[in-house]
Structures are given as C-alpha cells and as structure tokens.
Structure 1
Amino acid sequence: MEWLPRVGLFELHDLDRTPAVLRTLHTESITTIYRLTDAAREYSRPLALALRSGADHRIVDLCAGSGGPVPLIQRRLHAEGVHTQVTLTDLVPNVPAFERVAAANRRRLPSCCSVSHMPGPVDATDCRVEGTRTIYGAFHHFPPPLATRMLQNAVDTRQPIVVVDTKRSLVYVLFFPFFLTLAVLLAAPFQRNPLPRYLLRLALTYLVPVLPFMMFFDSVVSFLRMYGRAELRRMVNGLDRTESFTWTIGVEPGFTGAQYLVGVPK
C-alpha cells in the first residue's frame, strides 16, 4: 500500500470528548497486546541499532500511553547485555500505570536498568528531556506538520530518535483489526486493574462491547494512517540541518511488520 496516499482520519481514543477512563482502558489493552505478541522481539532491534550507533542509553519514551512496549524492550535488551534507563512520558501521563510498570521492572531487573516517569505533560513536538527519544506505535497519530516538528525538535536539541510503527500494508488493514479485537475479548479477564476499573473493563467488553469496537475501529484507521517509507524519507529530507544526523529507514521482518526511522547525531 506504499503507492496509496496516507488517509488522515481520526481515532476514537484521540478525541477530546472520549472519556479519559475509556482512553486509559484502551491504552492498557494495547500494552497487553504488546506482551501477547512479543512485540519487543522486533521492536527492540531499531533501538539496539541506534544504541550501537552511539545513541544515549537514557531512553525518553514519548507518547507512552499506559507504559507501552519500551519496558518490555528494556528487559529484552538487558538479556542481551545492553543496559538502559527509561523515562516514560506522555502529553496526558497515566501516572498510576507508569508507577506499576516501574515497580514491575524493579522486581525483574537490577538497578542498572531503571524505569522512571515524568509526572507532568511532555509535548513530543517540543521535548526538553535529554536522552534517546523513542515513539512506539504512535507516530501515525501526528499529522505531517506535527510529525515533522517532532523530528525537527530532535535535530534542534541533538537528541537521537527512534520511531517504530507498523508498515502500511493491505494485509494489516484487512486482517489485523480482527486479531486485535479478538485479543481484547480474550485478555480482558486477565488484565490487572483495581477492582472498580476491572469490573468496568468487563462490562465495557462483554455487556456493552465499547472496548472491542474502539479497538477494531481505531486499528483500521491506524493502519490507514501509517506513514510509508517514502513519506518518512521526504519528511527527513525536508528538515533543517538534516545532514547533521544519520537517518536509517527500514522494516523488521516478522509478525508485527515493524517499520522504523532511526536518527542519530553525527
């Protein structure tokens, strides 16, 4: 689908009028799907590439949602002998989820691999936190002007950046929404939430299937909104002082179809 234009539709959990609790339940479901699919196996490779190229081992995860895949990636990299310190950030930070992720990683990893978070909002297009920026599964949410501004901010502050999303493919548009919706239906009883939110999750999954519908609708739109490799290349070429960075664009083979853009200062 690289030859098709990107479709700039909206996703339900992006809307301001979507209740915050629904957005939280949705992003928690996405985090669970990352675990179920072992996305960290493929998602860790672009970050490992950046680290081998000299990127900072301090990781600043942008648009982290309810924790995202970066803590899982950190564990995989640690098993390979690569140690990182992760800071989770978001424009609307889910602090309780971030604290749960940090506690879980403290139990699993030594102090050389820490997880912390920024309690206040962090704008991905105007980030001042030092470290290698990562944005997993969220770059497509930004229209071209904002996506370009995010990359330009990394160049202006000379901070490495790793962008990973799913490649734009007809296969993913046609089949992945059904798989992701099924995952929401199967995983709901096993999600770890405080009791009131756990019961609400069950009600919004099985009694009134709002969460499965959100996952299906948003995943269809997501795959249509993904940037193609040619679009990423044009975006990078249009940045001021782009020649001061080494840019790498590619796709990791595997189930998740992980497409990446890695930028490291020269």
Structure 2
Amino acid sequence: MSHKPSKPLIPRLQVFEIADQLWFPSLLRKYMQAALTAAWTTYIPHLQQSSPAGIVARLLSQPNLLPHSPSKYVFIDFCAGAGGPTPQIEKHINSSLTHHHSRKSPQVSYAQAAARPEPVKFILTDLHPHEELWSAFASASPNLTFIPESVDASNAPASLTQQQGKKVFRLFNLAFHHFDDTLARKILKNTVDTSDGFGIFELQDRTIGGGFVTCCLFGVATMLLAPYYAFVWKSPLALVFTYLFPALPFVLVWDGWMSSLRTRTAEEVEQMLRGCGGDGVEDWVVKSGSESFMWPVGKVNWVVGYKK
C-alpha cells in the first residue's frame, strides 16, 4: 500500500558525494554502481515484499497512476549510469503484460494474438554513456535500447523525445537528488516542454529512518554479501576493498547519508515544477507516495508527474 513519506526535520542541503568527484578511482566507482544496482534488483524471499525495481514496475503498470497504459509510452532513463534498475523494470513490466494476456486467453487464436498488448520500450541514456554495459542489457531484450552519445537531460535532442506516436516518460532512478536547484528546474522545464510524464524514484529520504538508518544497514549488507557479489562480478578485488581496505562500504554509507540530505520531498519537487517556466505546466498532475520493500525502513519514495 502506498503512503506519504514522513516530513523531514532538516532542510535540503546540496552537499557533496565522494563518488561524484573526478579523483574518485574508476574501479571503486564501478563497484559502487554495481552495489547500487544490486540494491535495486535484489529480492530476498521472506525478508522482502519485492525488489525496489519490481515496485517501480508495478507502480508504472497501475491503471490509476498514469492516464494511459504503459504500452502507450516510451520510458527513457535519463540518468542510467551503469544500467541501474531500468533493465529489471523493463523485464517486470513486459513479463506482467504477457502473463496477464495469456491468463485471459490460455488458448490464443490468431485474432487474439494480434490483440496482444504491444511491448513497452525502454531507452538508456546518460551524460556519460556506458555503451559496453548497456550493450549487454540491450542484447538480452528486444525492448531495451540505448543512446551511445552523451545526452543532457536539460536539453534532450528532438530525435529522442519524438517517438513516432508514442508518449515520452522520463525516468530518474536514484538520480534527481544529484541536481542542484538550477539544473533541476532546467530539467523539469525541458521535461514539460518535450515529454508527457516523469517519474522520480529514490531509496532514501531526509528522515532518520529513511536516511541514516537505511544507509547504515546498506553498509552492513555490503559487508555480509561481499563474497557473493565478488563471485558474481568475477572480481576478487571487491573483497580487498570491502574487508582489507573498507573503502567500498565507507563510501556507500557516506554517499548514502549525503544523498539523503540532498533528496527532495514530493512537495519540493512539485514547487520546482510549477516554477520551472515550462509551457502548460499548470496542466500537469503530480502524484507521490512511498512503498515499503523491506521492513522496517526499506522504502521506494516516488514522485510522478504527467500532462492532463
């Protein structure tokens, strides 16, 4: 069940995150991105109700959230990084569409097959593309593509925002808190002027439970699961930077705390949207909520906006 996140006790602060710095080693940044992707996509039965990526997919598929079905949109991740949750969101949404249709029509005729819902398309983009990583995701799904060139979310090219009769929905997964107020308004204005909707999804907020405690638990989980992920990533060095020189858990926790201080509430996002100067912004609807994926503090906090 969706509910409103708690009101933060402190104002938003544009503090720095270690992994954003140019001097931060690329190998550690790679491990951090992989760890954050794991936080989005891992599902532990009996401990979690769903993975966070699964929650986002379910939200976007709900008939009462967006004015149109998911198949009417192209979902563009404007800050895809190393891939993040978007490949899993794509898989969840298209699998649920197929499952729902086959359950309604167990013996599919030719006419029924023609009436199947159209697969939902997703596109990965970023200011700093990860072409090699994205290629692997794209090769695993015909519904996932990427833009190999740099894409500025505050000035998206028309070739990207004009999708042959489809509506454009922008995704910001664990990303919108990185933008300062000036850049955030520019991105929202460009969204209003060239797109039909957006979704901001964060795993932290400016509360003690949703910020400080959640990030500490993430650091503990990193320490516990490091051997498994070192095997999955085929990189024993992950163990070195977790146990011998614990740079990885330290930076994950520190940057998590800083991310919490930078995260905007739904009210703050809507206020920026209304004041961004976009054409017809008064006709946009904003919805928000918080969905639990792990008791007691694991939550996906979301803000969704769309044209009426």
* TM-score range for the pair, normalised by the shorter chain length: 0.7 to 0.9
**Matched residue, 2:210:** 172
**Matched residue, 1:250:** 289
Match of 2:75 among 36, 41, 59: 59
Go from structure 1 to structure 2 and tell me whether the alpha carbon gap of 1:102 and 1:187 turns closer, same or farther (over 3 Å shift): farther
Matches of 1:36 and 1:154, distance apart in 2: 30
Q: Is the 1:140–1:227 contact (alpha carbons within 8 Å) kept by the matching residues of 2?
A: yes
Aligned partner of 2:53: which letter? A
**Matched residue, 1:86:** 122
- Offset, 1:30: 0.4
Q: Which runs of 5+ in 1 are unaligned?
A: none
SS in 2 for 1:257: strand
Aligned partner of 2:56: which letter? Y
Matches of 2:293 and 2:239, distance apart in 1: 32
- Offset, 1:10: 0.7
- Offset, 1:156: 1.2
Go from structure 1 to structure 2 and tell me whether the alpha carbon gap of 1:29 and 1:46 turns closer, same or farther (over 3 Å shift): same
Q: Give me the identity figure in percent.
A: 28
The equivalences for 1:188-203 within 5 A come to 188-191=226-229, 192-193=232-233, 195=234, 198-203=235-240
- Offset, 1:74: 1.6
- Offset, 1:168: 2.9
Give the greater-gyration-radius structure (CA).
Answer: 2
TM-score when scaled to structure 2?
0.76
Check if 1:116 corresponds to 2:154: no
Check if 1:228 corresponds to 2:265: yes
Aligned partner of 1:263: which letter? G
Matches of 1:119 and 1:216, distance apart in 2: 31
SS in 1 for 2:122: strand
Q: Is the 1:161–1:262 contact (alpha carbons within 8 Å) kept by the matching residues of 2?
A: yes
Check if 1:74 corresponds to 2:111: no
Q: Is the 1:41–1:73 contact (alpha carbons within 8 Å) kept by the matching residues of 2?
A: yes
Alignment size in residue pairs: 256
SS in 2 for 1:264: strand
Deviations 1:104-162 (A, max 9, x none): x43xxxx4xx1111112111222222231101111111111111111111111134211
**Matched residue, 1:27:** 33
Q: Is the 2:138–2:144 contact (alpha carbons within 8 Å) kept by the matching residues of 1?
A: yes
- Offset, 1:258: 2.0
Check if 1:207 corresponds to 2:244: yes
Q: Is the 1:46–1:262 contact (alpha carbons within 8 Å) kept by the matching residues of 2?
A: no
Matches of 1:233 and 1:52, distance apart in 2: 17
